[in-house]
Amino acid sequence: NVDKDILLYLEGLSVSFDGFKAINELNLYIRDGELRCIIGPNGAGKTTMMDIITGKTQPDSGSAWFGQTINLLELDEPAIAQAGIGRKFQKPTVFEFLSVEENLILAMPDERSVISLLLAKLNGEQRDRIEEVLIQVGLKEQALIRAGSLSHGQKQWLEIGMLLMQKPRLLLVDEPVAGMTHQEMDRTAELLISLSGSHSVVVVEHDMDFVRQLAGKDRTVTVLHQGSVLAEGSMDQVQNNRKVIEVYLGE
Ligand code: ADP
C-alpha cells in the first residue's frame, strides 16, 4: 500500500561497516516531482544513503523502491541508472577537450563508441533534445565552446545537462554549489527548482544559505544524524528544532 505519489521509498534501511552503523533504520519518502534537501553533520550517512539508492552499496536490511514496481535492491548500478536515477557527484567530470554540445552527445543513452557517436549524424529528435537541454541548463550560447574553458559553475550545469540527456525521473545531487560564486549559486538554485515538478530532485548540501534558497518556505528539508532521520519539515521548522540545534552545535 505504497502512496502512489511516492517515487522513492526507503524503509528500515540499515548498513554497518565493521560493526559501525552508518545507516540505522532509515526511512525516507520522496514524492514524484519533489525537490528535497538533505542536510546533516559529517558522518551522518548522507553519502552512504546515496550509495544505497544508486546500487553502489547493498544494505544489510530494509527496502528501497523506485515507483511502485522497481525494487532497487535487486538491481545493479547500471540497471538503476537505466531505470531513471541519475547521480551527480560533487566534482564535475566533463570531457574538457570536447565542446559542450559534444559532451551532451556522449551522454545520450547509446551503445556506440565515443568516436562513432561524435561522427554520427544526429537525427531530428536527438538535435531537439540537445537544444532543449542546452536551454534548460543555460548553456545555449556556449554550445560550441570547449568544456575545459567553462567556469566552474558552468561545468556543474553541463554535468546536470549530461544527466538530463538520459531522461532520469530522479536526480541525486551532491553538494552542487561547493566552490561556486554567489551568482552561480543563485542560478543553480533556479535550475534545480525548475527541474523539480518534471523530476524528483534530492540535494545533499552543507551550505545552509543555499538550502534556504532551495527549500523556500514550503519544501521539506530532512536532517540526517547517525544514519537516521533526526528531523523533517520546513527550513524554519528544522532550524528551530532543539535536537537539530544540539547536533549542529556539537559538531
Ligand atoms: P556523510 O556523507 O553524511 O558525511 P557518510 O555516509 O560518508 O556520511 O559516512 C557515514 C559513516 O560511515 C561515517 O562514519 C563513515 O566513516 C562511515 N563509512 C562510510 N563508508 C564507509 C566504508 N566504505 N567503510 C567503512 N566506513 C564507512
Give the closest residue (by CA) to ligand 1 atom 6.
45
Spatial distance between the Cα atoms of 59 and 37, rounded to a whole number of angstroms: 22
Instruction: Please give the grid coordinates belonging to residue 138.
Output: 543555460
pLDDT in tens, 226-241: 999 999 999 999 999 9
CB of 44 shorter than 6 A to ligand 1: yes
Distance 24 CA to ligand 1 centre (A): 12
Closest CA to 142 of 95, 106, 183, 100: 100
Q: Where are the domains of the chain?
A: 6-249
The separation between CA 83 and the C-alpha centre of its own chain, rounded to angstroms, equals 15
CB of 41 shorter than 6 A to ligand 1: no
- What is the pTM assigned to this prediction? 0.94
3 state DSSP class of 92: coil
User: For position 251, what pLDDT does the model report?
Assistant: 67
Closest CA to 83 of 13, 11, 169: 169
Spatial distance between the Cα atoms of 40 and 28, rounded to a whole number of angstroms: 14
Closest CA to 102 of 187, 168, 161, 188: 161
Q: Ligand 1 test: best mutation among 10, 14, 15, 17, most atoms within 8 Å of CB?
A: 17
Q: Give the pLDDT means over successive 10-residue stretches in the chain (251 positions).
A: 84 96 98 97 95 97 96 96 93 92 91 82 91 97 97 96 96 94 96 97 94 96 97 96 88 67
Closest CA to 66 of 200, 206, 213, 215: 200
Which of 3.40.50.300, 3.30.450.40, 1.10.540.10, 3.90.180.10 would CATH assign to domain 6-249? 3.40.50.300
- According to DSSP, the residues that pair with 87 across neighbouring strands are 172
3 state DSSP class of 210: helix
pLDDT in tens, 94-137: 999 999 999 999 998 887 888 888 888 888 999 999 999 999 99
User: For position 3, what pLDDT does the model report?
Assistant: 74
Contact between 200 and 33 (Cβ < 8 Å):
yes
CB of 92 shorter than 6 A to ligand 1: no
CB of 47 shorter than 6 A to ligand 1: yes
Closest CA to 138 of 160, 120, 107: 160
Distance 49 CA to ligand 1 centre (A): 10
Those residues whose C-beta lies under 8 Å from the C-beta of residue 219, and which sit 6 or more positions away, are 34, 35, 36, 37, 234, 235
Spatial distance between the Cα atoms of 151 and 244, rounded to a whole number of angstroms: 35
